[in-house]
Every structure is written in C-alpha cells, then in structure tokens.
C-alpha cells in the first residue's frame, strides 16, 4: 500500500510517517516507481507506536517494541528490551502518583483550613 493509504488506516498523517521513517522506526521500502511501499506489518508497527504513545510513552521509548515486531515476534512486548521499558515506565508512573498524592494531601490541609481557620490538623493548629 502507498503512504496515503497507510496513514489513513493508521489514523495519522503522511508527514508523521515520513518522520517515523527518518527516525528509523518505519522501514523505507520503495517500489519500482520509487513510491514508498508498505504492508500489514508496517500497519501493525504503527498501531504499536500509537498505542504506546496514547499510554504516555515518548517516541524513542517505542523503539524496542518496534524492533521486537520487526524481528518477527507476534507482539512488540515479547522481547526483554520491551519489558525493560515497561518496568521503567511503571517506575515513572509510581513516582508521579506519589507526587500527586503528596500534593493532594497538601490541598486537603489547605481546604480544611480554609473551611475552618481554627481547625487543628494532626494535633497542630495551622
């Protein structure tokens, strides 16, 4: 299939596909006329990239998943490098959750004080 059809089926733009090609994530095969030529495997690569980006992965973090698929594995997360990226992303998310919980607690204290300035929180008057 040509680049326009691939972009449409993947729900992206031809510009994005050219960018992925330049970054080495999408193979650059050409037919006899010089047109880019793609197949269902390329569509699967793009869907993997898009899914991971929807989950908050940056483009470079998708590379091990793409390489895993290009190596012939049925899923992009079947390789050790992909699993390592999952682990790093979970660690990042856990850290962000911890930060958000701390901010939430601080806002809860501020709200309690705003609602009742004589409020004593944790045995201390704020």
Read off the pLDDT of residues 37-76 as tens digits, 9 standing for 90 and up.
999 999 999 999 999 999 999 999 999 999 999 999 999 9
Query: Model pTM?
Result: 0.80
SS3 state at 59: helix
Is residue 125, in this structure, part of any structural domain at all? no
What integer pLDDT is reported at residue 71 of this predicted model? 95
**Structural domain that includes position 18:** 3-117
Is residue 70, in this structure, part of any structural domain at all? yes
d(CA 2, CA 91): 39
Report the number of distinct structural domains present in the chain: 1
Is residue 26, in this structure, part of any structural domain at all? yes
CATH number (domain holding residue 109): 1.10.1660.10
């Amino acid at each position: 299939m040509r680049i326009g059809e691939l972009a449409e089926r993947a729900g992206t733009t031809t510009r994005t596909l050219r960018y992925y090609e330049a970054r080495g994530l999408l193979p650059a095969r050409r037919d006899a006329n010089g047109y880019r030529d793609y197949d269902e495997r390329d569509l699967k690569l793009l869907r993997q990239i898009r899914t991971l980006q929807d989950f908050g992965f940056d483009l470079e973090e998708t590379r091990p998943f793409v390489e895993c698929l290009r190596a012939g594995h049925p899923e992009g997360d079947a390789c050790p490098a992909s699993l390592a990226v999952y682990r790093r992303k979970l660690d990042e998310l856990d850290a962000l959750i911890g930060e958000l919980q701390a901010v939430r607690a601080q806002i809860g204290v501020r709200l309690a004080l705003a609602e009742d300035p004589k409020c004593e929180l944790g045995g201390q008057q704020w």
